[in-house]
Amino acid sequence: MAIPAQKQAPRKPQGPPEINFTKGINTFQVNRLLLDPGEAATLLNADFDQIGALGIAQANTVIATGMGRIHSMFKTGDHLFVGEGINLVHFLITTMAKTVVYTDFNGDDISMFAYENFLYATEGVTKKKVYIPTLAVTEWGIENPQEAASGAVGDTGSPSGTYALYYTFVAKYPDGTEYETDLSPVAAVIVDTAKINWTYPATAPDSQVTHIRLYRDKSGVVATLAQARTAIEAKQTALEQSSGSLKFGNLFQSVIRSQTNKAVSQNMVADPDVIVGPFYIDEVEIGTASYTDNVSDTDLVQAAPFTRERYRPIFGA
268 has pLDDT over 90: no
- Spatial distance between the Cα atoms of 39 and 32, rounded to a whole number of angstroms: 9
Cα(313)–Cα(180) distance, integer angstroms? 9
Specify the higher pLDDT residue, 124 or 232.
124
The pLDDT tens digits of the residues spanning 141-165 come to: 888 999 999 999 999 999 998 898 9
SS3 content of the chain, % helix, strand, coil (to 5): 15, 35, 50
Report the pLDDT value the prediction gives residue 299, as an integer from 0 to 100: 82
- The enclosing H or E element of 214 equals strand 211-217
* Helix/strand number for the chain, H first, E second: 3, 20
Residue 63: band (very low, low, confident or very high) from pLDDT cuts 50, 70, 90: low
Lowest mean pLDDT among 64-78, 162-176, 240-254, 289-303: 240-254
| DSSP state letters, 9-23 | PPPPPP-SPP---SS
> Please, which residues have CB within 8 angstroms of residue 254's CB and are 6 or more apart in sequence?
307, 309, 310
Q: What are phi and psi of 29, to 5 degrees?
A: -90, 110
Q: What pLDDT was estimated at residue 272?
A: 46
- Mean pLDDT value across the chain: 76
Q: How far is CA 150 from the centre of its chain?
A: 31
Q: Contact, 108 vs 97, CB < 8 A?
A: no
Element (DSSP H or E) covering residue 263 = helix 251-265
Domains defined along the chain, listed by start = 22-59 (no CATH), 70-139 (2.40.10), 150-310 (no CATH)
CA 124 → CA 73, 270, 309, 313, distances in Å? 16, 43, 26, 21
Residue 27 CA to residue 274 CA, distance in Å, equals 60
Q: Which position has the higher pLDDT, 71 or 15?
A: 71
Question: CA 279, 304, 268: angle at the middle one, nearest 5?
Answer: 50
DSSP string, 67-85: ---EEEEEEETTEEEEEET
Structure confidence at residue 212 (pLDDT): 95
Please give the share of the chain, as a percent, with pLDDT higher than 90: 38
In the predicted model, what is the mean pLDDT of residues 234-260? Answer: 49
Radius of gyration of the chain (CA): 30
Quick check: 295 pLDDT over 50?
A: yes
pLDDT at 45: 67
User: CB of 108 within 8 A of CB of 85?
Assistant: no
- The predicted pLDDT at position 177 comes to 84
CA–CA dist 303, 149 (Å, integer): 20
Give the model's pLDDT for residue 160. 92
Range 14-23 average pLDDT: 55
- Summarised one tens digit per residue, pLDDT across range 167-220 is 999 998 888 888 888 889 989 999 999 999 999 999 998 989 999 999 998 865
Give the pLDDT mean for 13-32. Answer: 59
Q: Which helix (H) or strand (E) holds 280?
A: strand 279-285
Q: How far is CA 280 from CA 45, 70, 273, 297, 313, in A?
A: 57, 48, 19, 12, 19
- Report which DSSP code applies to 7: P
> How much is the average pLDDT of 277-289?
89
User: Is residue 99 classed exposed, middle or buried when 0-12, 13-18 and 19+ CB atoms within 10 A define those classes?
Assistant: exposed
Between vectors from CA 183 to CA 182 and to CA 184, what angle results, nearest 5°? 125
Give the Cβ contact number of residue 217 at 10 Å: 19
Q: Please indicate whether residue 292 or residue 10 has the higher confidence score (pLDDT).
A: 292
pLDDT surpassing 90 at residue 135: yes
The mean pLDDT of 70-87, rounded to a whole number, is 92
